[in-house]
Homo-oligomer: A and B are copies of this chain.
Amino acid sequence: MYDILNTINSPADVKRLNVQQLETLAADIREALFNRLTKFGGHFGSNFGIVETEIAMHYVFNSPQDKFVFDVSHQSYPHKMLTGRKAGYIDDSKFHEDSGYTNPDESEHDLFNVGHTSTSVSLASGLVKARDLKGGKENIIALIGDGSLSGGEALEALDFVGSEIHSNMIIIVNDNQQSIAEVHGGLYKNLTELRQTKGKAANNLFKAFGLDYIYEENGNDIQTMIKVLQKVKDIDHPIVLHINTQKGKGYKLAEKYREAWHWCLPFNRETGEWNFSFPAENYTALTADYIMNKAKQDKEFVVITAAMPMAASLTPELRQKLGRQYVDVGIAEEHAAAFASGIAKAGGKPLFVTNSTFIQRAYDQVSQDICINNNPVTILLNYASFNGLTDVTHLGIFTLAGFSNIPNLVILAPSSKEEYLNMLEWSVNQKNHPVMILIPGNEVTSRPADKNYDRLNTFKVEQNGEKIAILALGDFYQKGEALAKQVELQFGFKPTLINPRFASGIDEKLLQELQQNHKLIITMEDGILEGGFGQKIASYYGTAPIQVKSYGLKKEFYDRYNPEDLLKQLGMTTDQIISDIKKLNI
């Protein structure tokens, strides 16, 4: 096993192989992918489909002199194995050493940390510009999947390169006929036409952007790919090399069920079953239930996603049932946000659901298209928690810092199942505000909750007490509850416990009242402190004779941390907070 892969310590080792050895290397890489992915999970289909192309890339080009930029990194694993990092795939004890994304800290063969889509052409064109200013001669290659093409950043970049770059640049478009879910967008009709005509169709998106273009049907054939890459190597202008590959190639189930196998958790190779089951009751499943019921009752309700249907557990079956009340815009968050604003303006009830980290891609649209216009769009965010995705490119801890300071936007942070579902229903039906709801990141808990949230920024006092008031926002409400109990045990008095619910404003009346019999306000939030909730409270009390101690994460790009360890490291466990309180001498 791994006979050839074991000999590969750098791209130079790839160049020494003969035809048959290259084929064996491809098989070895797939075995190594199986080894890591069955046990550790990760991006599956895109990596299985790109093995031959990346072997050919390293055979033909000279990385790191020649520079590769991998869009969204979903297809970077074979490249990693060929650049000194095979251990992260074949040695189970070293899985953790490999980030799953390109990462300059791991290797000089990786240029950028990348985990959001549609960035590769822009980033690569910057490398081109710097090379030309410095008088370099190296090849610069961007590898981008068809799914990523629909993103505005990629389209802007293709347009730019098509007229403003006049030197070597190779854009490999890996067309595996699949985004994360199915592809959506007119350009995919053009890609189909181009595949069907073997690149000859007169109408050609890339040429319409001013780009030179060639097509290669056999993207999964190493020899073919070596030939075509040799042809474009050292080219003196930008060219798009459109290749046809099979997503999931080498694993029957993945070839057949391309969406299900875009990404996987540890699984059984024989059956394809994941060695992991989600709790029967979880917040995304509750979201799917809500959506299906609401859609049935209300024909003006429409769910929008930007290639992230699973952020609301919307399986292909459920999507089909939703019919025209479901719109996947493809990877196009900017459009999704403005589209939702248009729907709301005309009286529809749009619910835009995605992962927290991706809403950043529509920052200006949330601000301008939605919030200035005050249109009642509901934006529903998954993984807006330190306890969600922990890769540096997918952190959900910046949402409040970024969005809670946009005027008109009401951000709700529910703390129980009932509160979450009531907020959803209230938000979808009301016509007065754009609303963002953070899907809870912890286990489902149950507690009675209000139905109406019309009175903005009214915090809920869940326990009346004295001396200390704990404002525990959203996901951190349960931590606030635990702290309140511990305060009572240790100090012998009941503190006040508050469920703020609103993350985008403060309840001035309540904060005013708290001054009467409290000496310390503790705020707890599931995100970075800077720009978030606690700092608003601290500022409100700036000149008041009351202390405010805020708990939250630091403004930092954490990467692959253990959530509980991080809290401890930041001094945010119940015991640590109790110890802080003791020092304050309340």
Contacts and interface: CB of A to CB of B under 8 A. Distances in A.
Interface of A: 67, 69, 104, 111-116, 119, 122-134, 150-153, 155-164, 184-190, 202-205, 207-211, 299-300, 302, 324-325, 327, 329-330, 332, 334-335, 337-348, 350, 360-361, 363-365, 367-369, 371-373, 392-393, 398, 401-402, 404-408, 520, 528-532, 534-536, 538-539, 541-543, 547-550, 555-557, 584
Contacts of A189: 162-163, 210
A108 B532 CA distance: 37
A532 B539 CA distance: 11
Given A116-B368, A130-B343, A531-B404, A152 B156 contact: yes
Given A67-B346, A160-B330, 20 more contacts: A113-B372, A122-B369, A126-B342, A126-B344, A127-B342, A131-B346, A133-B348, A134-B346, A152-B152, A153-B365, A156-B334, A160-B335, A162-B189, A185-B210, A187-B210, A189-B210, A360-B368, A363-B364, A542-B550, A543-B549
A162 B186 contact: yes
Q: Which of A69, A151, A334 has the most CB of B within 10 A?
A: A334
B404 A402 contact: no
Nearest to A166: B324
A582 B119 CA distance: 54
Contacts of A119: 338, 365, 368-369
A36 to B, nearest CB: 24
Contacts of A131: 346
Interface of A is mostly: helix
Closest 7 CB pairs of A and B: A126-B342, A152-B152, A162-B186, A186-B210, A122-B338, A363-B363, A130-B346
A493 B131 CA distance: 58
Given A156-B334, A535-B536, A130 B300 contact: yes
A325 B133 contact: yes
A538 B542 contact: yes
Q: Which of A114, A131, A337, A368 has the most CB of B within 10 A?
A: A368
Contacts of A111: 345
Contacts of A209: 185-187, 190, 205
Given A324-B133, A341-B112, A329 B160 contact: yes
Contacts of A115: 368
A501 B406 CA distance: 24
A405 B202 contact: no
Contact of A155 (B125, B152, B339): B152
B156 A150 contact: yes
6 contacts: A122-B339, A130-B343, A151-B152, A152-B156, A159-B186, A164-B185
A548 B555 contact: no
Contacts of A405: 398, 401-402, 528, 530-532, 555
A389 to B, nearest CB: 14
A457 to B, nearest CB: 12
A585 to B, nearest CB: 10
A508 B120 CA distance: 39
Contact of A204 (B123, B203, B327, B341): B203
Given A126-B345, A529-B539, A398 B406 contact: yes
Q: Which of A302, A364, A404 has the most CB of B within 10 A?
A: A364
Contacts of A302: 129, 133
Nearest to A123: B342
Contact of A372 (B124, B164, B367, B557): B557
A171 to B, nearest CB: 12
Contacts of A408: 557
Nearest to A358: B364
Contacts of A371: 557
A542 B549 contact: yes
Contacts of A329: 156, 160, 164
Contact of A160 (B104, B332, B369, B406): B332
Contacts of A350: 126
A348 B134 CA distance: 8
A345 B536 contact: no
Contacts of A334: 122, 152-153, 156
A489 B230 CA distance: 78
A539 B300 CA distance: 44
A334 B347 CA distance: 31
Contacts of A337: 122
B342 A122 contact: yes
Nearest to A209: B186
A573 to B, nearest CB: 19
B348 A129 contact: yes
Nearest to A406: B398
Q: Which of A188, A329, A339, A371 has the most CB of B within 10 A?
A: A339
Contacts of A332: 156-157, 159-160
A204 B299 CA distance: 37
Contacts of A530: 404-405, 531, 536
A423 to B, nearest CB: 21
Contacts of A342: 69, 122-130
A397 to B, nearest CB: 10
Contact of A345 (B112, B116, B207): B112
A25 B408 CA distance: 40
Contact of A338 (B157, B547, B556): B157
A209 B209 CA distance: 12
A318 B582 CA distance: 64
